[in-house]
Structure 1
Amino acid sequence: MTKQLTDKVTFRHGASIANRIVQPPMLTNSGKNDGYVTQDTIDYYAARSQSAGMVIVEYTYVSRAGGPSRSWARDREQLGLYKDDQKPGFAKLAKVIKKNGNKAILQLEHSGREANFRAKLGDKVYAPSSFDFGFLDYDVEELTDAEIHEVIKDFGAATKRAIDCGFDGVEIHGANHYLLQQFFSAWSNRRTDEWGGQTLDSRMHCIMEIAKEVFRVVKAYAPKDFIVGYRLSPEEVHGDNVGYDYKEATELVKTLTENFEFDYIHLSLPQYDAKPAGVDKTYAEIVKPVLPEETKLIIVGNVMSEEDAKDALQYTDLVAVGRATFIDPQFGLKISEGRGNEIIHEISPEQVKKSKLTPGLINLFSDPKMEPHLPGRESIYSLHEAGSLDKSVLKDGTGASYNLAHLKA
């Protein structure tokens, strides 16, 4: 039977969503004072309660030392949920996303060495190993064994807070050069202990322990149909240094899904039909066969129209639509109602207001140098605050200008 974007999808533990469209986690730079949800955050997500059958809230750090990452000002930060007094804001967030019956998922993350705004504030930054990364303008400290165990507990505590706040699920963030990917990478993980980079199993160890803790908390406190997903980047390359390849990433997926009942695996891709160099199959086609039948696959990457989403569906169970929902927050609703021809594909000053883009996103996408950009960006150049974008934080593991993995979608 041919899959349709409008199909109802039921996950392994019983939760159902109305269609195969997902809004992926994308930073809004709307947090404030250590990651608290603001009215800008709530307004943005409230406008997207019908963008997709399932909305995944942007990467939220679980430990005090886990962020902020990629912030441009003290009042434009990454979100955090590492203490109880942050819960009221997240409860409001879950409520507005769910107001039309769609699912709200919270992505949980620790930035590790990428907590660059933390460094700018004069705080210590941590990673699996400490060495000269070359592209960082601050020092990084190696996590101790005790600190790793605290991070594991923090993922569990954040999961409990997400449950308390009314989210329908959590996504463990193991992609985009953040802490879990840093542990999995043979390039960035140079330890020689049980958390170390000597073998594939040892580099999986921290990830497996975090998954174990998250599922322990879910089993103890969450509704039976609570959704748990895992996001990963299928390869890591730093110039001539390969942190891991698609074969190792596939082994990680296999190990995770053999040991835990994940509802979905989410591949972070620059292009939905991307392929490894010299390989005829897409990353999705490589990963899909190792998944249990009960575990869904989500892919993301430059899906900007209904036609793109239909094409992507040949590789996957669920299609994540990112930048297109910045422009038109009713992307999924219009497809569900057979009005795909009414989707707005270009940003404009009028659409900025209608789509409730946060001040941080407006400034980001009105920058003529921003890539990936929004179609129609020339119309909003006048909204840019000259000089407010701090280029020093826009670096990735290649040493090149960072093109914001959380906005590639």
Structure 2
Amino acid sequence: MANEFLNGYTFKSGLTVKNRIVMSPMTTMTSFYNGMVTSDEVAYYKKRAGGPGMIVTGVANVSENGKGFEGELSVASDDMIPGLAKVAAAIHHNGTKAILQIFHAGRKSTTKILRGDQPVSASPLAAAYPPDSETPRELTSDEVEAIIDDFGQATRRAVTAGFDGVELHGANTYLLQQFFSPNSNQRTDQWGGDRAQRLAFPLAAIASARAEADKANRPFIIGYRLSPEEIETPGIRIDDSLFFAAQIRDLVDYLHISMGSYKRSSLNDKSDTEPLLAKFAAVVSDHTPLIGVGSVETPEDADNVLALGADFAAMGRELIREPQWVQKVENNDRTSIRTALSPYDMSDLAIPAVMQVYLSESFKPVMHFTTDTDQAQDYQNQLAPMEGFEKKL
């Protein structure tokens, strides 16, 4: 049915969202040096609130040594709660639900970003991309347990700040993914081993977050974001991720796939042309809702995401360009929807100045800038920059 994405949805927890459009988590790089919220961030989310059923924030680190880039949100201490409460309140305009994405960057950080501390990971192995990645320090078992608790404490703070849920960012080669990947986890203790054993850390982080969510006196959801594949060898393959999805499908309130294009099929097995989104839908159907994402720009794209088996369609770049996308679709005002972005309109669209630079550099080929004379690119057959291949800043 056309525009089914405008229908509401009720999660098993009792949380009801007004439609099935999700604003996907996007880096703003606009927080203060210590991770506290800035007024620019609040304005950015407020501008896009009111239309989508849910807005997922950019990542917030759960631990001081979990910071991955400058300008990143933090939820690592109670000092962050007042600022985060302003973000949640801004998102709640006209009934949009607010989800705080939480993570630990692991080896996807630098000594410079961590103010002199060495990045940490499951094993002391540097990432292949970018090629100048630092070798991390292997976490001790006690440190692993502490980070697991940090995910729980971050969830507690999200509840206190007024969010409606948290999304554990287990994608884009961050720490949760690093523990599941045979590329980055070569431990021989209880946190390593075969793929079932490498699930121990993500499962523990989910359980830690769930324990705090269950203490909330209102519906509060736990989501999980997953990357389908790695291209390194050894690395995560689609069968591994489908196995992962099967293990967590009854433990989380939704699964969110991280891809640059919802049409993508396997990057490792070119003979398999089935869309990855359909593969995940087959695994989690009747267990937990699935959020599909990647170059969703038009109502037809959103319809196609649901037709592939997803329950929600997430939009990123298009909601940067057109904050009123949902309202315009609801009111049959499609001709006014921005599908291109003028650099001269970015400030009027409440896009923070630092984010403007980021979009103009790392994402320039896919932002559809009106001033760009180069042919637009897409991510259908490649990894997007945020999936582990962006330049270190």
Assess same fold via TM > 0.5: yes
1:374 is matched with which residue? 367
**Distance change >3 Å, CA 33–CA 11, structure 1 → 2:** same
Unpaired runs of 5+ residues, structure 1, are: 72-76, 381-399
SS of corresponding position for 2:291: strand
1:272 is matched with which residue? 262
Q: Distance in 2 between matches of 1:378 and 1:406?
A: 28
Q: Distance in 2 between matches of 1:6 and 1:16?
A: 13
Would you say 1:404 and 2:393 are equivalent positions? no
For 1:253, the aligned partner's letter is A
**Distance change >3 Å, CA 222–CA 28, structure 1 → 2:** farther
**Deviation (angstroms), 1:353:** 2.4
Check whether the contact 2:172–2:386 (CA below 8 A) recurs between aligned residues.
Answer: no
For 1:109, the aligned partner's letter is F
Check whether the contact 2:168–2:224 (CA below 8 A) recurs between aligned residues.
Answer: yes
1:254 is matched with which residue? 246
SS of corresponding position for 2:385: coil
For 1:376, the aligned partner's letter is F
**Deviation (angstroms), 1:222:** 4.7
Q: Which segment drifts farther, 337-346 or 178-187?
A: 337-346
Check whether the contact 1:28–1:358 (CA below 8 A) recurs between aligned residues.
Answer: yes
**Deviation (angstroms), 1:157:** 0.2
**Deviation (angstroms), 1:362:** 1.1
**Distance change >3 Å, CA 287–CA 333, structure 1 → 2:** same
**Deviation (angstroms), 1:313:** 2.0
The C-alpha deviation readout for 1:55-96, integer Å capped at 9, x for no partner, is 0001111001100x233xxxxx11111001111100000001
Q: Distance in 2 between matches of 1:407 and 1:372?
A: 15
**Deviation (angstroms), 1:371:** 4.4
**Deviation (angstroms), 1:374:** 1.2
SS of corresponding position for 2:231: strand
**Distance change >3 Å, CA 165–CA 291, structure 1 → 2:** same
1:85 is matched with which residue? 79
Check whether the contact 2:122–2:178 (CA below 8 A) recurs between aligned residues.
Answer: yes
SS of corresponding position for 1:172: strand
Would you say 1:8 and 2:4 are equivalent positions? no
**Distance change >3 Å, CA 103–CA 339, structure 1 → 2:** same
Check whether the contact 1:58–1:107 (CA below 8 A) recurs between aligned residues.
Answer: yes
Q: Distance in 1 between matches of 2:339 and 2:2?
A: 27
Q: Distance in 2 between matches of 1:242 and 1:340?
A: 46
SS of corresponding position for 2:34: coil
1:18 is matched with which residue? 18
**Distance change >3 Å, CA 236–CA 2, structure 1 → 2:** same
SS of corresponding position for 1:378: coil
The C-alpha deviation readout for 1:7-28, integer Å capped at 9, x for no partner, is 1111111211111111000000
Q: Distance in 2 between matches of 1:167 and 1:344?
A: 29
The C-alpha deviation readout for 1:194-245, integer Å capped at 9, x for no partner, is 101x21111100001111111111112351x21211110011112xx14111
Q: Distance in 1 between matches of 2:48 and 2:387?
A: 20
Check whether the contact 2:126–2:133 (CA below 8 A) recurs between aligned residues.
Answer: no
Would you say 1:295 and 2:288 are equivalent positions? yes
2:208 is matched with which residue? 213
1:168 is matched with which residue? 164
Match for residue 113 of structure 1 among 107, 110, 121: 107
Would you say 1:304 and 2:297 are equivalent positions? yes
**Deviation (angstroms), 1:136:** 3.5
**1:51-200 correspondence to structure 2 within 5 Å:** 51-67=51-67, 69-71=68-70, 77-116=71-110, 118-119=112-113, 121-134=115-128, 135-196=131-192, 198-200=193-195
SS of corresponding position for 2:124: coil
1:388 is matched with which residue? none
Q: Distance in 2 between matches of 1:406 and 1:205?
A: 22
Would you say 1:243 and 2:235 are equivalent positions? yes
**Deviation (angstroms), 1:340:** 2.7
For 1:151, the aligned partner's letter is I
Q: Which segment drifts farther, 211-220 or 300-309?
A: 300-309
What is the number of equivalent residue pairs in this alignment?
A: 376
SS of corresponding position for 1:220: coil
Would you say 1:42 and 2:42 are equivalent positions? yes
SS of corresponding position for 2:57: strand
For 2:254, the aligned partner's letter is Y
Q: Distance in 2 between matches of 1:203 and 1:113?
A: 17
Identity of aligned residues (%): 32
SS of corresponding position for 1:375: coil
**Distance change >3 Å, CA 354–CA 306, structure 1 → 2:** farther
**Distance change >3 Å, CA 341–CA 227, structure 1 → 2:** farther
Unpaired runs of 5+ residues, structure 2, are: 374-381
Normalised to the residue count of structure 2, the TM-score between the two structures is 0.90
**Deviation (angstroms), 1:115:** 2.0
Check whether the contact 2:57–2:99 (CA below 8 A) recurs between aligned residues.
Answer: yes
SS of corresponding position for 2:347: helix
| CA RMSD, Structure 1 to Structure 2 (Å) | 2.3
Would you say 1:361 and 2:355 are equivalent positions? yes
